[in-house]
Amino acid sequence: MYANLASRPSFNPASGENANSALQGMRETAAAGAQILSVQSRDLLKGQKAVEIQHNGAVYRLQSTKLGKLILTK
């Protein structure tokens, strides 16, 4: 999975954090014998309102609403 922030942050050498470090918050959990990745939305959004996700050659937009819900659009 590749997450691309709507407004790309620059690399922070002090913390080693960049746009791909949203994936650092991922953890694997087992459900019905399958591996499922669990990612906190705050780790993907990194304080932004929206994030672009590239999937199978298409770009999707994941955005947080004022009511705290998530909307995924193509």
- Mean pLDDT of successive 10-residue stretches along the chain, which has 74 residues: 48 50 55 79 94 96 96 96
Handedness of CA 11, 14, 15, 16 (dihedral sign): positive
Instruction: Identify the pLDDT of residue 34.
Output: 75
Report in angstroms the alpha-carbon separations of 67 from 8, 25, 51, 64.
Answer: 24, 23, 17, 8
Question: The whole model's pTM is what?
Answer: 0.55
pLDDT value for 29:
56
Residue 67 tokens read as 């009511």
Q: Using the Cα atoms of residue 52, residue 53, residue 58 and residue 61 in order, give the sign of their dihedral.
A: negative
pLDDT at 20: 53
Residue spans of the domains in the chain: they are 2-73
Query: What is the predicted pLDDT for the residue at 55?
Result: 96
Instruction: Record the tokens describing residue 73, joined without a space.
Output: 């659009």
